[in-house]
């Protein structure tokens, strides 16, 4: 069985451009990635998965360029992956396992799932990690109980829950001596974050590929320029089982109490792309082409 640890509500608190490595010139992304199957994991759920999960050349190319440009993972890094068991983190786990086998440098990584304290479906995550030889841990917490005790009237779970979950990941990463925390946010997530901050919070803010947290950990997002539809295609084409999104605390609320902002933003982005098929391409370029002095923040005005 998988390794499981537990905490209570006490306190939840650069792939580099290496001189010896040029991804495209050495053919690292020339072909789609295949894995040799292990004999472990014979449940009906895991048996739906093809024997060799394949990562498309397009995804590998995008992730490789992102890692090379921003120096996400380097020789000797110890990376903790936040593995929720959703489609995004499953793809990232697969990519990191592939990198370990084929990259011309060595790094460690482990996958960790944060349980919110109301149980959930985790066996398929363990079986998937076992197939790919990924060290895995289920981290049991009392996050849901803490949410219920501290949630203010009229507020929603999302931001508070996100901070709690991130705190749990930080805690384990520091405890185990990891220097980097990998999260599976993709380009659609970054777009949603940007427009939600713009329209609801009055801030020009999104999700960077890498940043250093106050505790010294570097948080990396290798999938930040991958489109969500590419991830959906990866899951579907490989027949990978993904449990319904039942572990998210927001799904335990009555439908009339669920937040509308994210869904409204998703629909806005869908409409924009429908009107302009190059919308996400332009947005991706814009994220790397900031003219801070063209706004009204006195910190950036040339005066």
- 295 inside domain: no
Structural domain for 150, as ranges: 3-289
Structural domain contains residue 302:
no
Query: For 95-130, what is each residue's pLDDT tens digit?
Result: 999 999 999 899 999 999 998 887 788 999 999 999
**Structure confidence at residue 33 (pLDDT):** 47
Q: What is the per-residue pLDDT for 114?
A: 92
Give the range with max mean pLDDT: 25-29, 178-182, 198-202, 261-265: 178-182
Grade residue 238 by pLDDT with cuts at 50, 70 and 90.
Answer: very high
Number of domains in the chain: 1
Residue 40 lies in a domain: yes
pTM recorded for the entire structure: 0.81
In sequence order, what are the residues at sequence separation of 6 or more whose Cβ sits closer than 8 angstroms to the Cβ of residue 173?
Answer: 80, 180, 181, 217
pLDDT at position 37 is: 34
Q: What is the pLDDT of residue 146?
A: 78
CA distances from 161 to 33, 68, 169, 186, 192 (A): 35, 32, 12, 19, 18
pLDDT band at 247 (very low <50, low <70, confident <90, very high): low
Sign of dihedral through CA atoms 30, 31, 32, 34?
negative
The domain that holds 268 is classified in CATH as 3.40.50.620
Residue 299, in any domain of the structure: no
User: Residue 87: which pLDDT band, with cuts at 50, 70 and 90?
Assistant: very high
- 245 has a pLDDT exceeding 70: no
Residue 303 lies in a domain: no
Domain assignment of residue 257, yes or no:
yes
Could you report the per-residue pLDDT of 135-189, keeping only the tens digit for each?
999 999 887 777 777 766 655 666 677 788 889 999 999 999 999 999 999 999 9
Which pLDDT score is estimated for 261? 82
- Region of poorest pLDDT, from 32-46, 61-75, 123-137: 32-46
CA 62 distance to own-chain centroid: 15
Residue 296 covered by a domain: no
pLDDT of res. 255: 52
Average pLDDT over every residue of 201-218: 95
State how far the Cα of 33 lies from the Cα of 238, in Å rounded to an integer.
12
Asked if the structure places residue 100 within a domain, the reply is: yes
- Please tell me the predicted confidence (pLDDT) of residue 18: 32
């Amino acid at each position: 069985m998988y390794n499981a640890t537990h905490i209570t509500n006490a306190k939840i608190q650069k792939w580099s451009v290496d001189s010896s490595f040029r991804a495209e010139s050495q053919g690292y992304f020339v072909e789609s990635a295949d894995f040799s199957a292990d004999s472990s994991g014979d449940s009906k759920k895991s048996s739906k998965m093809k024997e060799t999960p394949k990562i498309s050349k397009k995804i590998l190319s995008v992730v490789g360029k992102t890692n090379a440009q921003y120096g996400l993972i380097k020789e000797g890094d110890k990376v903790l992956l936040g593995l929720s068991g959703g489609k995004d983190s499953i793809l990232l786990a697969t990519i990191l396992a592939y990198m370990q086998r084929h990259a011309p440098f060595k790094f460690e990584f482990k996958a960790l799932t944060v349980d919110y304290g109301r149980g959930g479906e985790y066996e398929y995550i363990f079986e998937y990690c076992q197939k790919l030889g990924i060290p895995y841990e289920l981290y049991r917490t009392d996050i849901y109980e803490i949410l219920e005790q501290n949630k203010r009237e009229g507020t929603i779970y999302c931001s508070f829950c996100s901070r709690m979950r991130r705190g749990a990941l930080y805690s384990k990463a520091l405890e185990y001596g990891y220097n980097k925390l990998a999260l599976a946010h993709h380009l659609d997530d970054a777009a949603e974050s940007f427009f939600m901050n713009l329209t609801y919070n009055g801030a020009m803010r999104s999700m960077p590929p890498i940043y250093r947290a106050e505790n010294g950990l570097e948080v990396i997002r290798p999938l930040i320029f991958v489109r969500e539809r590419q991830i959906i295609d990866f899951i579907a084409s490989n027949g990978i089982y993904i449990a319904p999104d039942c572990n998210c605390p927001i799904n335990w609320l009555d439908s009339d109490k669920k937040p509308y902002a994210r869904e409204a933003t998703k629909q806005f982005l869908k409409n924009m792309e429908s009107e302009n098929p190059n919308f996400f391409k332009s947005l991706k370029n814009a994220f790397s082409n900031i003219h801070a002095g063209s706004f009204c923040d006195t910190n950036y005005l040339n005066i």
